[in-house]
């Protein structure tokens, strides 16, 4: 059997054909990984102790602590190495806060996607955005494309491991302003893990409920993500899935193998959804690739013309000037 051919941008014209709903991942897809890893996560680890101490008696905080305590108990029963959180008493606030801090840092070090952790993080980020200590970052192509898609009546959704509140906070306080109005709905891990097809089936049912007069079939949903495992799970639920390769815009992203590129359509920019090849955009991508391959060093002497013949045009120009000068001398004579 012949190997599968690589999916190419020439197929881009059909990416949105027949699509009613577009579901987007956040980290690494529409927002830089560095924003999450270098700004959002450090904010939690640096401020969690003071946050818990100040809001310890609030109902929301106690609910977050209880969820983490229950998760730790369950993980221990499953044989996992966990930081247990003691039950609340009248005089053990300090012990509980310390245990929660250690528990949360351990979960974050393990890159846990659990709902209990994500809920607490979202509540902490609410304060960060409100006090302008954090501003959401989106890739520069995201807001304009979202606007265009919304104007063309596509239903837009977010499905991220971050809590729904955290998703809305990022999009409401982004460097491009508040873009939450462009979205029809938001989903997080309460709908299920992002690597399980059943989660996408659950979301499909919820999306269909947003359409009053018609059902949205799985094939009419397009999922955009930087994770091949998530794309595979979406396809398992009969969705369409496209991988977004942001390696030209950031470091530390997921590296796609040849198999990934053979299995899924891969785009580098949300503008590629429309299947249009913008010359200026392509030129910019070529420059970015060249800089990454050559460590950013460009030598003017090494730049060749489009025909690959270097300075021939300059030589021809000099010869023409010489011919013109000779004619002038003849006329003067």
Q: What tens digit of pLDDT does each residue of 232-259 get? A: 999 999 999 999 999 888 887 888 999 9
Residue 78 pLDDT level (bands cut at 50, 70, 90): very high
Q: What tens digit of pLDDT does each residue of 267-298 get? A: 999 999 987 554 444 544 554 444 344 443 33
User: Would you give the distance in Å from CA 130 to the centre of its chain?
Assistant: 23
User: Which DSSP symbol is given to 255?
Assistant: P
pLDDT beyond 80 at 61: yes
User: Which pTM does this prediction carry?
Assistant: 0.76
pLDDT in the model for residue 220: 97
Whole-angstrom Cα distance, residue 6 to residue 23?
Answer: 24
Render 228-252 in DSSP notation, one character per residue: HHHHHHHHHTT-EEEEE--TTT-SS
Q: What is the mean pLDDT of residues 88-106?
A: 97
pLDDT beyond 70 at 41: yes
Whole-angstrom Cα distance, residue 57 to residue 193?
Answer: 31
The lowest-confidence range among 63-77, 126-140, 156-170, 301-315 is 301-315
Q: DSSP H helical segments within the chain, as ranges?
A: 33-35, 41-55, 59-77, 93-109, 115-130, 142-151, 164-172, 197-209, 228-236, 258-263, 279-293, 312-332
Percentage with pLDDT > 90 across the chain: 72
């Amino acid at each position: 059997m012949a190997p599968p051919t690589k999916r190419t941008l020439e197929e881009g014209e059909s990416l949105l054909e027949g699509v009613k709903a577009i579901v987007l991942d956040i980290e690494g897809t529409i927002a830089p990984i560095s924003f999450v890893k270098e700004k959002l996560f450090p904010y939690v680890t640096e401020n969690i102790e003071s946050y818990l101490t100040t809001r310890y008696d609030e109902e929301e905080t106690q609910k977050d602590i209880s969820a983490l305590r229950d998760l730790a108990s369950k993980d221990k029963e499953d044989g996992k190495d966990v930081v247990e959180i003691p039950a609340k008493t009248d005089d053990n606030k300090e012990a509980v806060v310390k245990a929660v801090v250690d528990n949360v840092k351990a979960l974050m070090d393990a890159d846990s996607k659990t709902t209990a952790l994500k809920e607490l993080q979202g509540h902490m980020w609410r304060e960060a955005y409100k006090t302008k200590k954090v501003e959401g970052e989106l890739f520069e192509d995201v807001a304009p494309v979202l606007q265009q898609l919304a104007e063309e009546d596509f239903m837009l959704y977010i499905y991220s491991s971050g809590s729904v509140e955290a998703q809305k906070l990022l999009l409401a306080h982004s460097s491009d302003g508040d873009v939450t109005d462009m979205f029809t709905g938001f989903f997080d891990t309460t709908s299920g893990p992002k690597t399980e097809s059943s989660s996408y089936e659950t979301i499909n049912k919820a999306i269909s409920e947003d359409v009053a007069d018609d059902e949205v079939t799985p094939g009419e949903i397009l999922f955009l993500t930087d994770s091949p495992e998530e794309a595979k799970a979406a396809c398992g639920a009969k969705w369409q899935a496209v991988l977004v390769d942001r390696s030209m815009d950031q470091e530390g992203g997921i590296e796609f193998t040849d198999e990934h590129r053979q299995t899924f359509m891969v785009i580098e920019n949300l503008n590629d959804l429309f299947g249009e090849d913008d010359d200026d955009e392509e030129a910019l991508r070529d420059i970015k690739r060249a800089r990454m391959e050559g460590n950013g060093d460009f030598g003017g002497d090494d730049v060749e013309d489009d025909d690959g013949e270097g300075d021939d045009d300059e030589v021809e120009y000099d010869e023409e000037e010489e011919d013109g000068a000779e004619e002038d001398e003849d006329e003067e004579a």
